[in-house]
């Protein structure tokens, strides 16, 4: 871990006695523990550890720890405390880097004017910092200051002509109705990074359909080993209701790159065409390559359409084992069980998962189930029962309480 090695080196170089070397090792351990806790989203633990690191070091040596503590406090939504820590770090050792990082954090919590001030301070210290110009451009864009934002993006591109800067410039130009300039920026972003999928989509959205198709087809010929133009073609065709053409594009993409994403997109299009067997086969290939709640949920949707509840339920169990995602697969299976067997059957099945799914997530599954029951015009009583189950599992769930109260108000 580079950060740990840098701080350890700083401390080690400043010591000469055996007790001080032991101290350095202790600081290193704290840094390792704090970094690990932060990387695993254990923010309260990370906060306490970074504070200990700061106390254990002095002067400018602890500046990195201050920055890490500031990050953690923003993650914890302790905004005022985070701002205070960043200001303290800046006071100790001002730099363009820390001002830019501070600006990014302020922008993330919609403190746009404060973010702009931070970015301008960064630019004062390093006028060639493209990240500071990029940050101020983003903030200005969100304030609706189109001309100023475009000028800042252009400066970022001038300093660092990479694909992200060009794409963001294209977005700003598109918002300002500067169509031809936006097209040029998107094409430059693609030229620099031929696999920049979002730049393809942005270009496809701004060009007339036939022109976009022609350009993407040409790009597939110019770079026959690149599946991204074919992915973009699939998206364009799908959005235009040309599902057969979309399937063809995704099948071609798979021959170049048999990725989970390409198989999943193929499955989505086949599912829209109600070709359930083919969709299931595509999703099964996708999930082999990249098991995820998203792909399993699509597979479950296809299986449910064919009445294969046991197979769909098996997918839910696999998602539980992954311990990732929002358990959308289980919510889809729950609704299918409800429609076929009623709410008591759902409760019976879900009770098997209570040990393996955290209460917060289990409550969210019941909440989604209750809302879906309402949308599909199930009984109000069943909807209320789902919200009540959510509150039994997670009594502090404000969304479930609000949903339950809304059903009472609509009696």
Question: What are the Cα distances from residue 273, in Å, to 6, 77, 128, 288, 376?
Answer: 56, 44, 52, 23, 22
Show pLDDT as tens, one digit a residue, over the chain (411 residues): 444 444 444 444 343 333 443 444 588 888 889 899 888 889 999 899 999 888 887 665 678 888 999 999 999 999 999 999 999 999 989 999 999 999 999 999 999 999 999 999 999 999 999 999 999 999 999 999 999 999 999 999 999 999 999 999 999 999 999 999 999 999 999 999 999 999 999 999 999 999 999 999 999 999 999 999 999 999 999 999 999 999 999 999 999 999 999 999 999 999 999 999 999 999 999 999 999 999 999 999 999 999 999 999 999 999 999 988 899 999 999 999 999 999 999 999 999 988 899 898 999 999 999 999 888 766 788 999 999 999 999 998 889 899 888 876 555
Q: What is the 3-state secondary structure (H, E, C) of 110-160?
A: CCHHHHHHHHHHHHHHCCCCHHHHHHHHHHHHHCCCHHHHHHHHHHHHHHC
Per the structure block, which two tokens stand in for 335? 């609704």
CATH number, position 384: 1.25.40.10
Q: Is residue 9 part of a domain?
A: yes
- Report the alpha-carbon angle 186-197-190, nearest 5: 35
In this structure, the dihedral spanned by the alpha carbons of residues 350, 356, 362 and 368, taken in order and rounded to 10 degrees, is: -70
- CB distance 82 to 73 below 8 Å: yes
pTM of the model as a whole: 0.76
> CA 215 from chain center: how many Å?
29
d(CA 283, CA 266): 8
**Domain range spanning residue 384?**
310-411
Q: Is residue 24 part of a domain?
A: yes
Q: What is the CA radius of gyration of the chain?
A: 26
d(CA 384, CA 373): 10
Q: Is residue 301 part of a domain?
A: no
- CB distance 361 to 369 below 8 Å: no
d(CA 288, CA 351): 28
DSSP one-letter code for 290: S
- Among residues 69, 93, 117, the one where a domain terminates is 93
- Among residues 93, 125, 155, the one where a domain terminates is 93
Number of domains in the chain: 2
């Amino acid at each position: 871990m580079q950060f740990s090695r840098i701080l350890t080196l700083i401390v080690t170089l400043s010591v000469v006695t055996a007790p001080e070397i032991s101290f350095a090792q202790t600081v290193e351990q704290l840094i390792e523990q704090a970094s690990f806790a932060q990387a695993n989203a254990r923010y309260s633990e990370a906060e306490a550890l970074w504070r200990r690191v700061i106390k254990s070091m002095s002067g400018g040596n602890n500046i990195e720890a201050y920055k890490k503590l500031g990050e953690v406090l923003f993650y914890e939504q302790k905004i005022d405390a985070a701002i205070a820590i960043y200001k303290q770090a800046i006071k100790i050792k001002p730099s363009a880097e820390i001002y830019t990082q501070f600006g990014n954090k302020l922008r993330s919590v919609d403190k746009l004017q404060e973010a702009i001030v931070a970015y301008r301070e960064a630019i004062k210290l390093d006028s060639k910092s493209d990240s500071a110009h990029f940050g101020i451009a983003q903030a200005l864009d969100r304030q609706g200051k189109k001309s100023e934002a475009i000028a800042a993006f252009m400066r970022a591109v001038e300093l660092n002509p990479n694909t992200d800067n060009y794409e963001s410039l294209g977005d700003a130009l598109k918002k300002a109705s500067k169509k031809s300039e936006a097209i040029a920026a998107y094409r430059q972003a693609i030229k620099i990074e031929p696999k920049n999928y979002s730049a393809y989509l942005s270009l496809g959205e701004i060009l007339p359909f036939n022109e976009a198709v022609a350009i993407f087809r040409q790009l597939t010929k110019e770079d026959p080993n690149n599946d991204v133009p074919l992915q973009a073609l699939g998206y364009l065709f799908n959005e235009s209701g040309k599902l057969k053409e979309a399937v063809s594009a995704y099948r071609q993409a798979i021959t170049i790159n048999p990725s989970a994403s390409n198989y999943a997109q193929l499955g989505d299009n086949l599912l829209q065409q109600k070709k359930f067997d083919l969709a299931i086969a595509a999703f099964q290939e996708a999930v082999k390559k990249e098991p995820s709640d998203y792909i399993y949920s699509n597979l479950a949707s296809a299986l449910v359409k064919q009445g294969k509840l046991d197979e769909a339920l098996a997918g839910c169990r696999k998602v539980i084992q992954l311990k990732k995602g929002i358990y959308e697969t289980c919510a889809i299976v729950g609704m299918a069980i409800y429609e076929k067997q009623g709410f008591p059957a759902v409760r019976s099945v879900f009770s098997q998962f209570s040990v393996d799914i955290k209460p917060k997530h289990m409550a969210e599954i019941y909440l989604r189930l209750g809302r879906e029951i309402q949308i599909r015009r199930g009984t109000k009583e069943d909807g209320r029962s789902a919200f009540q189950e959510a509150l039994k599992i997670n009594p502090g769930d404000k969304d479930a309480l609000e949903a339950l109260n809304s059903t009472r108000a609509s009696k």
